[in-house]
Amino acid sequence: MDRRPTVTVHFDGVEHEAFVGESVLECARRLGIPIPSLCFLEGISVWGGCRVCVVEVAEDHRLRPACATTCVADMEIKTETPRLRAYRKSVLELLFAEGNHVCAVCVSNGACELQDMAVQTGMDHVRYDPQSPKRQIDASHPKYVFDPNRCILCTRCVRVCDEIEGAHVWDISYRGESAHLITEMNKPWGESMSCTWCGKCVAVCPTGALSYQGRAVGEMEHDPAMIKRLALARNRHEWLYPEEAK
């Protein structure tokens, strides 16, 4: 029995108990209430950048990112309204319009959280003009490839490399439409002295931006159980692989 103190919150009109300090997204996930998300990854810090997990909170006209909103007493949260559906779909359209996302030729076709989220939010086409930015692929690393055309700046790689691996190879540089990922002080990834080749960044990338050398279209695999282990093992004090622990 979890003995943490709780507060009462309402999800779509139904009363629930939230732990004090718990985010709306964490609470909803624990209760089995579906809220879509993209940049969120359980076990690492919250970024709140993608805005896919927006929810409505009563008497506030602003939408709130569920991952970065803390549950407070008597909060009335709506997770599924026509307005939210419209905004989530717009977010996906903007993400697709911003980069060069060509599912048909992508290593992650069929194993992509962005592609899945487009299906989930009902994006059948993009109303905005595609920006078609010109971006250079970094294939200098012997083991991995970075394709910024497919990057949505979710910063999962930045966070997992810093907080779990402790290497902090990745960062975001520049601003606005020029913002992009860099390795070390904007050196080619292959020349990075701090990269440990652990591959955590590749494992958690939701799109095809980070992948393994030598993989062709649709050959990327993401293992959700491994990602979960990567991000949560430390919190759970799991120092051995499940098969070793037996």
Partner 1 sequence: MTRARIATAWLGGCSGCHMSFLDMDEWLFELAEVADVVYSPIADVKEFPQDVDVTFVEGALANEDNLREALHIRENSRLVVAFGDCAVSGNVTAMRNPLGDPIEIVKAVYVDAPDRDGQIPEKEGIVPPLLPRVLPVHKAIRVDAFLPGCPPPADRIQAALEALLEGALPPNRGEAIRWG
Q: Which residues bind partner 1 (CB under 8 A)?
A: 96, 100, 102-106, 109-110, 112, 115, 118-119, 122-126, 129-130, 132-135, 149
Q: Treating both helix axes as pointing N-terminal to C-terminal, what angle do 82-98 and 113-121 enclose, rounded to 10 degrees?
A: 140
Q: Where are the alpha helices (DSSP H) in the chain?
A: 24-31, 82-98, 113-121, 156-160, 200-204, 224-232, 242-245
130 in helix, strand or coil? coil
For partner 1, the closer of residues 217 and 233 by Cβ is: 217
For partner 1, the closer of residues 46 and 97 by Cβ is: 97
- DSSP state letter for 187: B
For partner 1, the closer of residues 73 and 119 by Cβ is: 119
Shortest Cβ 235–partner 1 spacing (Å):
34
For the chain, how far is it from start to end, CA to CA, in angstroms? Answer: 25
Shortest Cβ 22–partner 1 spacing (Å):
31
Shortest Cβ 176–partner 1 spacing (Å):
18
Shortest Cβ 49–partner 1 spacing (Å):
22
Evaluated on CA atoms 176, 181, 184, 187, the torsion sign reads: negative
For partner 1, the closer of residues 122 and 188 by Cβ is: 122
